[in-house]
Amino acid sequence: NAGVTQTPKFQVLKTGQSMTLQCAQDMNHNSMYWYRQDPGMGLRLIYYSASEGTTDKGEVPNGYNVSRLNKREFSLRLESAAPSQTSVYFCASKLGGANQPQHFGDGTRLSIL
Amino acid sequence: KQEVTQIPAALSVPEGENLVLNCSFTDSAIYNLQWFRQDPGKGLTSLLLIQSSQREQTSGRLNASLDKSSGRSTLYIAASQPGDSATYLCAVDAGKSTFGDGTTLTVKP
């Protein structure tokens, strides 16, 4: 009963390094999302994929890229990490449609020095 | 731009007390509102989803209401237990979700 799986759980990077956060869901969901959570700012949408083959920008897309590799997997890439990208990153998915609940992974805690 | 506010930011109650958490939003053009629970160091767990056409949803000791016209939702927790201690977030969905900052609940034994 895995649900939404995120890897890695923790990561420390130096400024300028690149990395990819992985997300996979096993619920046959159509829509997938990447959020960041920062104290006092709530969860903010970075990118989302309404269905396989499509991706769209959210509220805070600058400095990030995404790939919807297939229906199960949605990755988030930081090309040149900056200290402002230190955050907890959450991946979520939902079946699709207006009234389906979102399901979240446990997050990736990313620190950029 | 949709804004979601949760007041209070923190709440501490003795075990057994009934309590209400509040969520307000500025734009009533929503598809649904979802309540989540977040434990420290964990992701969000969905508790209840209320569609825009509904007034309330119930699950066990939890009851969520929605008044779309006034831009308000409440989460009622009956007979609170120490295991209910967590941060509770609401999110409104209008195509994309907007989250509140959450209310951190502590239930003291």
pLDDT at residue A1 tops 80: no
What are B50-69's pLDDT values in tens digits? 999 999 999 999 999 999 99
How far off is chain B from A103, nearest CA to CA, in Å? 7
> Which of B42, B49, B96 is the closest to A99 by Cβ?
B49
Cα separation, B74 vs B98, in Å, equals 16
**DSSP 8-state code for residue B84:** G
Question: What would the mean pLDDT of A90-97 be, rounded to a whole number?
Answer: 91
Q: What are the tens digits of pLDDT across the range A21-57?
A: 999 999 999 999 999 999 878 899 999 999 998 999 9
Separation between Cα atoms, residue A104 and residue A74, nearest integer Å: 13
Q: Which of A46, A102, A106 should we substitute to test contact with B (largest number of B Cβ atoms within 10 Å)?
A: A102
φ, ψ for residue A39 (rounded to 5)? -55, 130
**With contacts defined as CB-CB under 8 Å, which chain B residues touch A58?**
96
- pLDDT at residue A35, as a whole number: 98
Query: In one letter, which amino acid is A98?
Result: A
The single-letter DSSP state of residue A27 is S
pLDDT exceeds 80 at position A2: no
A74 vs A55: CA distance, rounded Å? 10
Residue among B41, B43, B51 whose CB faces A105 most closely: B43
**The pairing of beta strand B56-59 with beta strand B103-108:** unpaired
* pLDDT, position B81: 97
Nearest to B106 by CA among B5, B17, B10: B10
Residue spans of chain B under pLDDT 70: none
d(CA A75, CA A65): 8
Q: How confident is the model at residue A96 (pLDDT cuts 50, 70, 90)?
A: confident
Contact list, A90 vs chain B (CB under 8 Å): 43-44
B64: tokens are 């969520």
Q: Taking the mean position of all CA atoms in its chain, how far away is CA B60?
A: 15
- In this prediction, residue A66 has a pLDDT band, given cuts at 50, 70 and 90, of very high
